[in-house]
Amino acid sequence: MSDKKNFFSDNEDLVFHFRHSLDWAQIVELTEGGWGKPDGYKNVEEALEVFRQILEQVGHYAGHEVAPRAEALDRAGARLEGGRVVLPAEFDQIFDGFREMELFGLTVPRHLGGLNAPMALSFILNEVIGRADVSVMTHFGFHGPIAMALLLYSAREGSMKSGPDDWIGPSRFDEEVRQIVAGRAWGSMELTEPGAGSDLAAILTIGRRAPDGRWRLSGHKSFITSGHGPFHLVLARTEEAALPRRDGPQGASALEGLDALSLFLVRGQVERDGKLVDNVRLERVEEKLGHHASPTCALVYEEAEAELIGRPGQGFELMLIMMNGARLAVGFEGIGVAQAAFEMARAYAEERRTMGRLIAEHELIADRLLSMETDIRGMRAMAFEALNAVELSHKLELTLRFTARWNAAERQAAEERLEGYKRTARQLTPLIKFLAGEKAVEICRDNMQIHGGYGYMREYGAEKLLRDALVIPVYEGTSQIQALLALKDHLQLVLREPLRFVRDLGAARLKALTARGVEKLYWECVYEKLRSMEAIVREVVKGKLADELAEMRAMNPLEVWKHLSKDFLRRWDAKEDFAYGLLHAERMTEILAHCSIAEILLRQAETWTERKVWADRYVKRMHPRVLALSSAIRGGDRDVLEWIERRRQSASADPRS
Ligand SMILES: Cc1cc2nc3c(=O)[nH]c(=O)nc-3n(C[C@H](O)[C@H](O)[C@H](O)COP(=O)(O)OP(=O)(O)OC[C@H]3O[C@@H](n4cnc5c(N)ncnc54)[C@H](O)[C@@H]3O)c2cc1C
């Protein structure tokens, strides 16, 4: 299809990553549970051809059917009428099309009516559909991924029958999955409450086991996307004694914080006396800045019938599996929105003239356009690297845990690969969520600016994109929370392997001194990354090991690191000791993200030399930014920390507080 408005095939960079950035041979083989099944693919080429056709079909649909309806969806929005959510007619038309294309079962196994495609396709569609309209993408994302989460939970809790070759067999949730595949149902992910967003340990919704052994849930959930559906996956605490501490200690045996959370499936309606009645009360559909056609619901649980998933206390662990996938999905969404903004900006800049020139040829505008495109390509490269790791870590883990495939040597090799993929997934997921959220907003704002006064009007849709983008750094864990996760993970790596860190630091310095051209710029950034990390560790331990500082000053860097890794890890209290790190977490995360992207782009440019121009451009653009961020981190300014301390002291001296 040579189709200019095909949101998959008109995007050369996306098509490149689809073809080259995923280990399809491994992914398809694991997804199929081995080759040669009667209804499976014969080989990877056959599978890839089918996947490409699906992406092209949806790309065409997104460009021709979804994008043209985006303005109408934005104007009409979702609303509550008589206790039910009403969506614009255009929304239903679009979802009818998805149903016809059998997209709700895209990644669902064949025996449940699905197409058994790898999860990667669903992530790629987040970009493709997100570019057309984020409300549509968001609701679409609460179909297939919820079905897959239910199957995964069933496997984990032992209620699925797996076979010797395949982890997928009859499960506890097959009926729910079938309804989703048929397009009759969807689910929602319910963590947030009025008093608990980033701080999930503050969740108050409570699950109690009634004398008949059944669970009942009571509490409020807020900001729940697509919360008007039949299946609610709800995080709640399960022991009253474990309510968050308010006025003093609770029962000594109580589970605390995140360990007290359990995961429940709650049905929107249940049968009572032969009639279907509401089990969850839809209190409100939020009015919000953007994402107008995506219903964001406030829900009330009043002794709602609930089914426990997994064990009591396992809720956070199970929800995290889904949350990590959702974070990567939001990363792809951010890239889709940014791509839409870039396309809009480029088109306008190539038709609008001022002072005798196209505005695309004014230096300031050209610089922005080039930055937008470079950033998007960089983020996409990192998102695909994360995607490969996420898909393979899931599939390898399930295959190893639940099937009898492979002999001992093969299993050991698979376990080693699994560790590598898990590490990459854990490291890159917060980076992509962080950067895609922040950059989507920046790029949409640049698009508005490039449109001048027209950008502020509704006419071109530039302001809609910015309104839609603004939530990306907020939901599925704010940018700040992603930064804390990324920093913690990298800091642990440093403290666990200090010798390696010192070696890396030395090697980066040497390369920064000896390399030439773009490579030199890259290694200077890597060196600054490591120096920033070192500065954070030094500042963090300053207070902790104050009494030993004089002694440590006399040590050489290697001895200092050895000492820190032994002593500090033992005596570390993240909340108390980590203030300097927390202060710079966002700066550090941005540096980490840029360096990861540059590493991936430069690596790919070795094989595909035509892509070197983008790798070089990315490195040249990130270099001054990384140096500035690093300089702020290494500056050692503690003004903010002192300000917090003074605030705390005056608050504790004030009897009214
Ligand atoms: C449109 C929309 C859809 C949503 N959909 C869902 C959904 O489907 N399911 C669901 O469960 N939730 C959903 N949410 C909720 C969303 O995940 C939360 O809003 C988000 O996690 C932030 O929580 P909060 O609003 O309570 O803010 P808070 O946690 O109160 O945070 C306020 C500010 O403080 C910062 N902050 C908090 N703690 C720290 C810290 N330790 N260090 C530094 N900064 C910190 C935050 O980054 C933020 O900037 C949705 C939200 C929106 C807007």
DSSP secondary structure letters along 131-184: HH-HHHHHHHTTTHHHHHHHHHHHHHHT-S---SS-S--S-TTHHHHHHHHTTS
Give the separation between CA 597 and CA 380, rounded to whole angstroms.
9
Confidence at residue 249, expressed as pLDDT on a 0 to 100 scale? 45
Among the residue ranges 305-319, 472-486, 532-546, the one predicted with the least confidence is: 532-546
Q: What is the pTM of this model?
A: 0.94
DSSP-assigned beta bridge partners for residue 80: 85
Report CA(300)–ligand 1 centroid distance (Å): 19
3-state secondary structure 376-402: HHHHHHHHHHHHHHHHHHHHHHHHHHH
State pLDDT tens for residues 18-72: 999 999 999 999 999 988 888 899 999 999 999 999 999 999 999 999 999 999 9
Is residue 224 lining ligand 1, measured as CB closer than 6 Å?
Answer: yes
Q: Is 475 in the pocket of ligand 1 (CB under 6 A)?
A: yes
Choice from 138, 228, 299, 478 to test ligand 1 binding pocket (greatest atom count within 8 A of CB)? 478
Could you tell me the distance, in angstroms and rounded to a whole number, from the CA of residue 334 to the centre of ligand 1?
A: 17
Q: Is the CB of 371 under 6 A from ligand 1?
A: no
Task: Tell me the DSSP string of 254-268.
Answer: ---GGGGEEEEEEES
- For residue 568, the model assigns a pLDDT of 61
Instruction: For residue 471, report the distance from its CA to the centre of ligand 1, in Å.
Output: 10
Nearest in space to 491 (alpha carbons), one of 547, 542, 545, 529: 529
Is there an atom of ligand 1 within 6 Å of 201 CB? no
Specify the ligand 1 atom closest to the Cα of 294.
1
Q: Is any atom of ligand 1 closer than 6 Å to the C-beta of 107?
A: no
For position 420, what pLDDT does the model report? 97
Please tell me the distance from the alpha carbon of residue 655 to that of residue 657, in angstroms, as a whole number.
Answer: 6
Q: Is 198 in the pocket of ligand 1 (CB under 6 A)?
A: yes
Q: Is the pLDDT of residue 250 over 50?
A: no
CA–centroid distance, 223 to ligand 1, in Å, is 9
Point out the ligand 1 atom lying closest to the alpha carbon of residue 286: 1
Ligand 1, atom 24, residue with closest C-alpha: 197
Residue with CA at minimum distance from ligand 1 atom 4: 223
Strands annotated E in 465-559: none
* Interval between CA 97 and ligand 1 midpoint (Å): 33
pLDDT band at 547 (very low <50, low <70, confident <90, very high): low
* Maximum Cα interatomic distance, the chain, rounded to a whole number of Å: 80
Residue 550 has pLDDT above 70, yes or no: no
* Residue whose CB lies within 8 A of the most ligand 1 atoms, among 192, 282, 580, for a mutation test: 192
Per DSSP, the three-state class of 215 is strand
Burial class (CB in 10 A: 0-12, 13-18, 19+), 634: middle
* Identity of the residue numbered 595: C
Quote the ligand 1 centre to 475 CA distance (angstroms): 6
Cβ-defined contacts of 45-52 (< 8 Å, 24+) = 48/19, 48/24, 50/117, 51/18, 51/117, 51/118, 51/121, 52/18
pLDDT band at 577 (very low <50, low <70, confident <90, very high): confident
> Is the shortest distance between the CB of 374 and ligand 1 below 6 Å?
no
Contact by Cβ (8 Å): 327, 276: no
pLDDT at residue 141 in the model = 97
* Residue 86 CB less than 6 A away from ligand 1: no
Q: What is the mean pLDDT of residues 126-131?
A: 98
Shortest-distance Cα residue to atom 48 of ligand 1? 478
* Structure-model confidence comparison of residues 553 and 602, the more confident one: 602
Mean pLDDT is lowest, of 14-18, 41-45, 456-460, 565-569, for: 565-569
pLDDT-derived band at 653, boundaries 50, 70, 90: confident
Tell me what the pLDDT averaged over the chain comes to.
93
98 Cα: distance to centroid of ligand 1 (angstroms): 30
The CA distance from 338 to 478, in Å, is 18
Are the CB atoms for 136 and 97 separated by under 8 Å?
A: no
Cα 325 to Cα 225: distance, rounded to the nearest angstrom = 16
Per-residue pLDDT, 549: 67
